[in-house]
Amino acid sequence: MKYTFHIVDVFSSTPFGGNQLAVLPDAGGISTEGMQKIAREFNFAETAFVLPANEPNTYRVRIFTPRAELDFAGHPSVGTACALVMKQDVRDPIRLILQENVGPVIVDVSRRNGGFHGTLTLSGKIETPAGAPSPTELAAVLSVDCAEVSQVFFAGVGIPFCFAQLTSNKAVDRATINRTAWAATLSRAWAPQIYFFAGNLQDGGELYARMWAPAMGIEEDIATGAACAALVGAMASKPDFGGTAYRLSVQQGVAMGRPSDIDAEARKSDGAVTSVSVGGATTYVASGDLEVPPSALAP
């Protein structure tokens, strides 16, 4: 049976930048095992499968890495919403609700500078558990000097991450995963995914980042919206931040030859974070048909 797919580049205003995403806009009838096999076949960081829902502009979306299904992910949420709007040829701003495993994800899509721009918003609680590895332990995982790791902490919204702030962009670029150290330190931790960055964490700061997720089958991610959402939420949650909106601009994927630009924001009221948003451009690349064998269809 043939299924249509679209390929888009997320968090980039030009083709062949940003994070690649395959979207199957009408995936009804494909089994869970079939979705996993298709995600492995595309071998992008994530593939999104869209299923119909009963409300207008509302879709059920399932997201798979080459190895596992995710409850939520940033670039697939933004990219899926933009891909659906592109193919509908909607010219005015539109709000879509994506029913993901983590719950409803709101994505606002608009035309901007001749292309499409999507911003996802989550109202879920930001998790910031204790127990993160020490800077010395993370330095071993990243293969950098201990003095180059400023701080390490856990945070997550839908997907847990271990965050490490490094002292320079050069240290971020130089980092190489030490598999033995990762297995000993993070493989069974609350967050085995590592998001490491350099830059200014003050409101309005600019960061330079990379992300590794070996447990998910992702050696390195080009752009990680879920991590940016968790990061702004964690920073805005701190008692010493008394404002109502905390923003960061993040550049990722540079060393991979696919530069990605991500804008992230957390909203705060009465001392608590009420929502986090992640946005950026999405560019259309290609469409086609995928032949799905009967063995990959639901019985």
d(CA 296, CA 282): 29
> Position of tokens 């805005």?
236
DSSP assigned state of 298: -
DSSP states of 216-241 as a string? GTEEEES--HHHHHHHHHHHHHSTT-
Q: Is the pLDDT of residue 124 over 80?
A: no
Res 133: pLDDT: 97
Q: What is the pTM of this model?
A: 0.91
Report the pLDDT averaged over residues 214-222: 90
Domain boundaries, the chain: 2-123+282-296, 135-278
Report the pLDDT averaged over residues 82-97: 88
Confidence band (pLDDT; 50, 70, 90) for 285? very high
Res 260: pLDDT: 97
Report the pLDDT averaged over residues 7-29: 97
Which residues belong to the active site?
A: 46
Does the 135-278 domain belong in CATH 3.40.50.300?
Answer: no
Identify the three-state secondary structure at position 135.
helix
Up-side HSE of residue 183: CA atoms within 13 Å toward CB? 3
Fold of the CATH domain 2-123+282-296:
Diaminopimelate Epimerase; Chain A, domain 1 (3.10.310)
The per-residue pLDDT for range 30-60, each reduced to its tens digit, is: 999 999 999 999 999 999 999 988 888 999 9
Q: Which residues contact 7 (CB under 8 A, 6 or more apart)?
A: 20, 21, 22, 23, 285, 286, 287
Res 128: pLDDT: 95
DSSP assigned state of 269: E
135-278 matches 2-123+282-296 in CATH topology: yes
d(CA 207, CA 293): 44
